[in-house]
Chain A
């Protein structure tokens, strides 16, 4: 039996559907209310519980999980810093300790590549050993960095639970409603004038595949996960058939947060590259992304563009 946290999210539901298809029993949990599941997974047991509260412990008491997928990291936009600390840091700590307590054999923790930060000094590509520079300029991402560090330490502190921490690049796809996917679906998307950094994207199906590989494999540790190719930001916008417009660098941070309601750290991702190297994950788990970059981008925005493309790629 497999527990999936963050089951309200598009990625968690896609993963759950694939697990059901492979014959696993799945239980979902989310701290958010109004848990509506896609029709193909609507019959699975779901619980509404904050990961840092005692109610969450009951989920572990009621089911004997062999695997826990902690996909429920709360993104930057949705909650206040205090709430994110509670859910991401205290909550993840509870997910991990309950996993050990209840003899879970495999734990997958979904982190993010945002913690590397898009920094002018970033080397290319960034491997897992690189310092996490995001907190340097954007302290509000501290909860994500702490979650990742905690999980990394956990890998070695608790060898009895085979733990894999995944740091995917920009995850997008038709069922994903995170900052980046929402951004790409807008009718006009900004770029920072004079900057056009290389950017990577990972499709929800490819990340689902990576998570399934992490479950079935034997490796443990922290791994980057990236898509098949990379292009400059403005080329990605062209591939999404969306017109970009320039924002002066000096104004972009304020404009992005106030007008577009995007997290401020995103500004640096529009200025500097943050290209990750996922060779270790591919080598360890024999995984590779199946969708092209063009398919990854277009399937994300196809509905928003009403199926009309301006030009062909790939």
Chain B
């Protein structure tokens, strides 16, 4: 069976934004998404055993889920999207905003678009929010996902774009703390010149690389814990000065940092 019945039921329960051929403008297709999310449920879920807290905090309608980015590969986005679709009472399709280098990755990019991911661009984001959809953003960008071990669970500076969009489209922000990602592929340092040569944003060196070889890039079976905080409703001018926006952004940043710190305090084991 390529499609899990629970996944199929969850995707069928979503509000239909697709055209008569089964696609939306960004390339989402429920039939392919059912297979993609089935893979997630059968492989990613048992491997990372995610636990979600506060899913009820996600309000109906348009929403910006803002999370901490980690783990070298985008498993964090995948898991947030999975729990929002499969663990929430009311299934939500979360449109993950992906890095700008993904559209150049063959096969992977195609699968991402079909499963609902979208190129991380402010216009895409605005159009989806105006269409009352849910968006997942990692304002740290590659600075977050490429963090080395010594910077784990410390938020890199957030961009301002998400806040301007939230203000412009009157969208609530749901802060989201993702625990587990930093240990999935730990990185001692990045080899910048090789990354440039390969055309990737960073190239991590895991501590077990000399022993495990390329297998070191397989994520460890850590347990992911996802905390969704109470929605933050911001109002004001979206085109205000950077300093004003920065203040608003720092409130969101510190909320997420507090949620991360609490999550780490409550965690008894990385794997259990």
Residue from the list B27, B105, B107 in contact with A232, Cβ < 8 A = B27
Q: Interface size bucket, A side?
A: 20 to 34
**Interface residues as binary, B10-38 with A (CB distance below 8 Å gives 1, 0 otherwise):** 00000000011101011100000000000
> What separation, in Å, do the CA atoms of A198 and B118 have in the docked complex?
13
Q: Which residues of B contact A249 (CB under 8 A)?
A: 106
What separation, in Å, do the CA atoms of A230 and B113 have in the docked complex? 14
A195 touching B25, Cβ below 8 Å: no
| A121 adjacent to B100 (CB under 8 Å) | yes
**Are the CB atoms of A124 and B124 closer together than 8 Å?**
yes
A29 to B: closest C-beta gap in Å: 38
Residues of A within 8 A of B110 (CB): 194-196
Q: Within the assembled complex, what's the spacing in Å between the Cα atoms of A174 and B121?
A: 37
List, in ascending order, chain A residues with CB within 8 A of B26's CB: 124, 198
CB contact list, A223-253 vs B, under 8 A: 229-232, 235, 249
Quick check: is B127 within 8 A (CB to CB) of the other chain?
Answer: yes
Q: How far is the CA of A135 from the CA of B27 in the complex (A)?
A: 25
* Contact across chains for B27 and A195 when beta carbons are under 8 A apart: no
Contact A314 B121, CB 8 Å, known A123-B127, A198-B27, A230-B25: no
Most buried by A among B105, B107, B123: B123
- A123, B100: Cα distance in complex, Å: 11
Q: Give the contacts of B113-136 with A (CB-CB under 8 A).
A: 113, 118-119, 121-124, 127
Instruction: Kindly report which residue of chain A lies nearest to residue B103, judged by CB atoms.
Output: A120
A123 and B23 in contact, given A195-B106, A195-B110, A249-B106 (Cβ under 8 angstroms): no
Q: How far is the CB of B105 from chain A (nearest CB, A)?
A: 8
B109 in the interface (beta carbon within 8 A): yes
A-side residues, CB < 8 A to B, are 120-125, 130, 192-198, 229-232, 235, 249, 272-273, 275, 292-293, 313-314
Q: Please provide the 4 A-B residue pairs with the shortest distance between their CB atoms, ordered closest to farther.
A: A194-B106, A123-B123, A120-B103, A194-B107
Known: A123-B127, A125-B25, A292-B20. 14 other contacts (CB 8 A): A120-B103, A121-B100, A121-B119, A121-B121, A123-B124, A124-B123, A193-B106, A194-B107, A195-B109, A198-B113, A229-B20, A229-B23, A231-B21, A275-B25
